[in-house]
Amino acid sequence: MNDDLEAAKRSAQSWYWWGIPTFFRCPWNEDPEAADIALVGVPHSSGNGSTERDQHLGPRAVRNVSGFYRRSHFVHGFAPWDVARINDLGDVPLPEAMNNEACVRDIEAFYRRLDAAGTRPVSMGGDHSITGPILKAIAGPGRRLSGGRSCSLIHFDAHTDSYDNMPHWLGAKRSAAHWAAYTATEGSVDAHRSIQIGMRGHPAGAIHKGGVGGSSRELGYRVVTMQEFEELGVDSTLSLIRERVGDNPAYITFDLDCMDPSVAPGVSNIEPGFSGFSIREATRLLQGLKGMNIIGGDVVCLMPTKDSPNQITAQMAMVMMFEITCLIASGS
């Protein structure tokens, strides 16, 4: 009877409605030593309290939809699960969820365990303040995954998140608006070997010195606005990324608001006045990074409570998480 039960369970594993939901039906194992790639949920919302506040529901939504996603990559020609140990490590525990600074502390402590194990993380947020502590944990002096070097940031977003001219964002000092600045000034990110792509939208006030992305350029980032991307195209943008990053260890962060609202309506900082990336542009950009030394990545700012009935934004988050996972697995 036990053999029959195990056979029945193996038969049922391919169906997305069966079993406990995990990212892409991966095994649930909280031990970072047991994985080459760790899929992690970061249910955090208190770093971006000025807009939508339900980003903490993102990991649960993506676990639910990712069960049906096909497991082999058509373009790369392999299944990441066949070449690397990939587990769902669960969610970062955030006992002081309404206190952004406490959450930033706890997120960094969680990811230091992964760095010590040499396990590369692919994370689902959560608002964009999660990227700062993740980078602090895995990149820079003394960090294993980056080889002690400051990493290159490959940042897809409608906004630069480098607003170091503000001391805090509604009380959050390491907020979704600050992380790209403090990770550069504190040595986790080498801004001079990093790139931010997809910035668009009208400014909230007077245009600051240096125009859109001025604060990032002062830090050393290369900023590619959506307008410039439309002039460059995918292939030239990929060449620019590779030239900028070179052989440096790189981290990918993908804010879903960089995508066009028609395909990603459920985001926390929607930019409806200017076109964003199409699905194909976004996937081609990520697929074109194959062969680079990607030490981790995240997808952020999913707003499940604002999503369409078919959960298209959650599906876009799933797709981008899969693409980043495949990039890391391809180097295993």
Number of separate domains in the chain: 1
Asked whether residue 18 is domain-assigned, the answer is no
pLDDT at 281 over 70: yes
CATH number of the domain that residue 210 is part of? 3.40.800.10
Whether 278 is in a domain gets the answer yes
Residue 314 lies inside a defined structural domain of this protein: yes
Kindly calculate the radius of gyration of the chain based on its CA atoms and give it in whole angstroms: 19
Positive or negative torsion for Cα 26, 265, 176, 228: positive
The predicted pLDDT at position 249 comes to 98
User: 211: which 2 tokens?
Assistant: 């125009």
Does residue 41 lie within any of the structural domains? yes
In a domain, 3, yes or no: no
Q: Quote the pLDDT of residue 176.
A: 66
In a domain, 197, yes or no: yes
Q: Pick the range with the lowest mean pLDDT from 4-13, 36-45, 84-93, 158-167.
A: 158-167
277: β partners: 259
Mean pLDDT of 113-128: 96
- State mean pLDDT over 142-155: 98
pLDDT band at 70 (very low <50, low <70, confident <90, very high): confident
Return d(Cα 118, Cα 18) in angstroms, integer. Answer: 32
pLDDT in tens, 288-328: 999 999 999 999 999 999 999 999 999 999 999 999 999 99
Residue 229 lies in a domain: yes
Residue 138 is part of which domain span? 26-329
d(CA 62, CA 313): 9
Give the tens place of pLDDT for each residue, 184-243. 999 999 999 999 999 998 766 555 555 567 789 999 999 999 999 999 999 999 999 999
- What single-letter amino acid sits at 30? E
In this structure, what token pair is assigned to residue 263?
Answer: 């395909």
pLDDT tens digits along 77-113: 999 999 999 999 999 999 998 898 999 999 999 999 9
Task: Answer whether residue 63 is part of any domain.
Answer: yes
Q: What is the pTM of this model?
A: 0.94
Evaluate if residue 50 carries a pLDDT over 70: no
Sign of CA dihedral 256, 259, 264, 269: positive
